[in-house]
Amino acid sequence: MTDCVFCKIISKNIPAQILYDDENILAFKDLNPVSPVHFLVVPKIHIADTDEINDKNKHLIAEIFKTIPLICRNLRISNGYRVVNNCGEKAGQTVPHIHFHVLGGRNFKWPPG
């Protein structure tokens, strides 16, 4: 998608602080972090949101969740981190390319606001 900010980061047309990069997925630091560690993990193909997960692309979501612990170990936040996905406007999704926030480096409240 040419007008998608995360597709532009994936194609390296917008710079980002990249933490993990392979054939299928990319992880990069969030521009406006809400915790000492805050990065986003995205599939390299444009999937709009969690509602768009299907049998053809579900392996990418599994790969994302397999990779998150590895990145967290590198960043030394394995003792506690939160993975967040906002699906849809009402949930606070602002970028319509599926992404998983990974937050760490502080304590978190439950339930979230």
Catalytic residues: 99
Q: Which of 19, 71, 72, 97 binds Zn ion (CB under 5 A)?
A: 97
Nearer to ligand 5GP, 32 or 55 (CB): 32
Other C-beta atoms within 10 Å of 73: how many?
10
User: Which distant-in-sequence residues (6+ apart) come within 8 Å of 104 by Cβ?
Assistant: 35, 36, 37, 38, 72, 75, 77, 80, 81, 82
Using CB under 6 A, which residues numbered 59 to 98 contact ligand 5GP? Answer: 86, 92-95
- For ligand 5GP, the binding residues in 24-43 under the rule CB under 6 A are 28-32, 40
